[in-house]
Chains A and B, each alone.
Chain A
Amino acid sequence: MSDDDRIDAELTAFFAVPDAAPDEAFVGRIERAVRAEQRMAAARRALWRRFGVETLGSLAVIGVFYLLWRVAPANIEISQLTLGPVAAASLVLLLWLGVGLKPAAMGG
């Protein structure tokens, strides 16, 4: 055995500590932190999904208004409409809120 090996063996004997039984309090602390991370990740995914759906919904509403504006007769006057633009927009908004709030009310 060389001098270095002897010294290494001696240092190993000083520093090596056999694995003790797991510290369940620490393990529990990590477990709780991991579960919290999982819940946060799920909430983040749900938020992004909802954001995507709402963005698509907004684009669809804007698209419908654009199409209606394109196909409307050029010489029509606002007073001739049975449903004015403000009333139509309010109706769409109410429908949207109704659909949007439903999942929240159900805990979604």
Chain B
Amino acid sequence: MDQDRELARRAAAGDAAAFTALVRSHEGAVRRFLSRLTRGEGADDLAQEVFLKAWRTAGSYRGEGAYRGWLMQIAWTAFLTSHRAKGRRQARDQASFEEDGGAAHDPDARIDLERALASLGDRERAAALLCFGEGCSHSEAAEIMRLPLGTLKSILARARAALTARLEMAHE
């Protein structure tokens, strides 16, 4: 983490090599998060946008939290912005997914859960991915999503309930 801060400080001073080292450390997590949020659609382009924004605004990272958390915050904002632009199309995709019955009878629990995750609302999906997938604490996830801690906890509780239902269905 101290190494990230040092690299971030150098990146803010215009050191592209330091920034590349940060990209190398965190691209996997950022792309995974965006890929699961967007269900793979345009995730890499969005990830590129996130890293370019991180480069342009490198000076605004104050080193108060984890660098990865700061990147995830940019990723979440970028996702929301792009999602608003594609809102109607995604709503249609969601409707067609639900009409297909999701994957309620898929024998593979992991695939079933991934599909259950895909059927959650954006905020529930992001909260579940951050807390269960990326190991963020509730307060870190709340900061990334710019939500009050209580709101994050209730969103996460809804996500947990939906995912648990799928998990139990898969166990039966």
A: which residues have CB within 8 A of B? 4, 7-8, 10-12, 14-17, 19-20, 22-23, 26-27, 29-31, 33-35, 37-38
Contact = CB atoms under 8 A, between A and B. Distances in A.
B129 interface: yes
B52 A4 contact: no
B97 interface: no
A38 B16 CA distance: 9
Interface of B is mostly: helix
B132 A15 contact: yes
Contacts of B44: 26
Contacts of A30: 20, 23, 27, 48, 51-52
Interface stretch (B28-36, B73-81, B143-151): B28-36
Interface in B26-73: 27-29, 31-32, 44, 47-48, 51-52, 55-56
Given A14-B132, A15-B129, A26-B47, 20 more contacts: A4-B160, A11-B160, A12-B133, A14-B109, A14-B167, A15-B113, A15-B117, A15-B128, A16-B133, A19-B28, A22-B28, A23-B27, A23-B31, A27-B20, A27-B23, A27-B24, A31-B16, A31-B23, A37-B55, A38-B16
B133 A17 contact: yes
Interface of A is mostly: helix
Chain B's interface size range is 20 to 34
A30 B51 CA distance: 7
B29 A16 contact: no
B51 A8 contact: no
B103 interface: no
A7 B32 CA distance: 22
14 contacts: A8-B131, A8-B132, A11-B132, A11-B164, A14-B132, A14-B167, A15-B128, A15-B132, A19-B29, A27-B23, A30-B23, A31-B20, A31-B23, A34-B51
